[in-house]
Amino acid sequence: MAFALPVWLAVQEELLAQGDADCATPSCFDEFDDEALFQVFHLTRPCIAFITDAVRIRMKNVPMKKPAMSVDATVMVALNYYAHGVSSVDVLQRVAQSQSDCLAIICTVSRVFAGMSDLFISFPLLRNARVNVASRTEKLCRIPNVLGVLAPAHFKIRASPYEKETFRSFVNTLGYTSVVSQLICDCDGNILSVEKCCVGSTFEQEMWDSSFKGKEMEEELHGPFWVIGGKGYTLSKHVLTPVSEPANDRETRFNEAHTKIHNVMRTTLGSMKRRFRCLMQLGFAQEGSLDKKSNIIKACSVLHNIAKKFSVPPPPVAGKIEPLHPGKKHSVPSEINPEALKCRQEIIDGNFSTVSMSQDHVLAFSSCFQTL
């Protein structure tokens, strides 16, 4: 579940508190039939209605240009942009806005959506929630005590090659210019955390070390649980990486299981970029623009979780979706915690000794956390 049931009920209760008048007001989305609605916004009617009502609550104190547009109209402009990466002429005509006007609208609504991340992007905080998440993950990949998948998410931007220093800082490991955010998702593809918006050349490990979630995990605030990390991360007490050079069948099977759960992030990012085509190209690199790009990334993450809550499928594949990026490591390898190595080896020996593992070994590794 993307966010806890009490959160869902709290939002619903606040929506109901607005009174029946708002519910009875016709919406500009009513002009679309269901098929057209999905084509234009990549979301369904019930999902859009919930999103619009949630934004209506948040936008009460948000200053807008005069004469103010209706909340429905502002949400329509933003959702259309997220879905296609451009604002369609038809939608702009419906709300009587120009392309230049819609940029300000998108910035405003993106800030509102980003501010809703505390409601709709939820890392498991209670032990029972962590155990449930870890149990679902274990059923998928047989690796115990995993809360989620950690990965850098790269989003293309345009940067002028004539501004060499600026351009160089945005070039990522695949050779194109991008910004990168740190995402964590669960085994069902719900976004659990989204942090940072850095230039594309940023090292994954540096992002993790300086992130709020990284500090919380490494300071033991979330208990003896792991997040799955790729080759760009250093094996640590709470980041579980693959074996770089597997020496036996056990380590090979562990790496295969690691790849299986790691690919959930690949699928999740692919789904997000299919639904929100704006993430395929986030515009130009400009000074001070990282905050605006961060708001759009967070907005799409919030909407992704809401869409999953409403079981809205992503649109069909259209064009190539970028793969997860190969890890970017420092030329001088980081020193690996020997206790972390020991813990990973206990997981491998206790859970991947044979093709069909015994459930008696599932918790064999847990004692190692006592020494970390």
pLDDT along the chain (372 residues), means of 10: 49 50 70 95 96 88 64 94 93 82 90 93 93 96 96 91 82 91 96 94 94 93 94 94 94 96 94 95 78 94 96 80 68 78 94 63 45 48
CA-CA distances (angstroms) from residue 313 to 63, 170, 190, 282, 317? 34, 32, 13, 23, 11
Q: Which of 74, 103, 120 is the last residue of a domain?
A: 120
114, 139: one domain: no
**Which pLDDT belongs to residue 140?**
95
**Which pLDDT belongs to residue 9?**
47
Residue 372 in any domain: the answer is: no
187, 324: one domain: yes
Residue 363 in any domain: the answer is: no
Q: Which of 87, 120, 153 is the last residue of a domain?
A: 120
Residue 339 in any domain: the answer is: yes
111, 52: one domain: yes
Residue 53 in any domain: the answer is: yes
66, 9: one domain: yes
360, two tokens? 């008696």
**Which pLDDT belongs to residue 365?**
43
**Which pLDDT belongs to residue 7?**
52
Measure the CA–CA gap between 21 and 115, rounded to whole angstroms: 26
Give the chain's domain count: 2
114, 142: one domain: no
239, two tokens? 């980041």
With 0-12 CB in 10 A as exposed, 13-18 as middle and 19+ as buried, what is 348?
A: buried
**Cis peptide bond upstream of 316, omega within 30:** no
Measure the CA–CA gap between 183 and 286, rounded to whole angstroms: 23
Residue 161 in any domain: the answer is: yes
Q: On the CB side of 28, how many CA atoms lie within 13 Å of its CA? A: 18
165, 106: one domain: no
**Which pLDDT belongs to residue 62?**
62
**Which pLDDT belongs to residue 5?**
47
Q: Tell me which residue range forms the domain holding 347.
A: 127-288+309-352
With 0-12 CB in 10 A as exposed, 13-18 as middle and 19+ as buried, what is 158?
A: middle
Residue 325 in any domain: the answer is: yes
Q: Which of 103, 120, 137 is the last residue of a domain?
A: 120
334, 185: one domain: yes
Measure the CA–CA gap between 64 and 48, rounded to whole angstroms: 21
81, 218: one domain: no
* Sheet strand arrangement including 239-240: 191-199, 178-185, 146-156, 226-228, 239-240
Partnered with residue 153 across adjacent β-strands are 181
* N-terminal to C-terminal alpha carbon distance within the chain: 30
Q: Residues 272-316: pLDDT tens digits? A: 999 999 999 998 876 567 889 999 999 999 999 999 999 999 998
113, 9: one domain: yes
115, 239: one domain: no
Q: Residues 30-49: pLDDT tens digits? A: 999 999 999 999 999 999 99
Measure the CA–CA gap between 254 and 233, rounded to whole angstroms: 17
User: Tokens 């020996």 belong to which residue?
Assistant: 349
**Which pLDDT belongs to residue 163?**
80
Q: Is 107:113 a contact under the CB 8 Å cutoff?
A: no
62, 174: one domain: no
Q: What length does the chain have?
A: 372
**Which pLDDT belongs to residue 259?**
95
Residue 252 in any domain: the answer is: yes
Angle at the Cα of 298 (from 296 to 304), degrees rounded to 5? 100
Residue 299 in any domain: the answer is: no
33, 55: one domain: yes
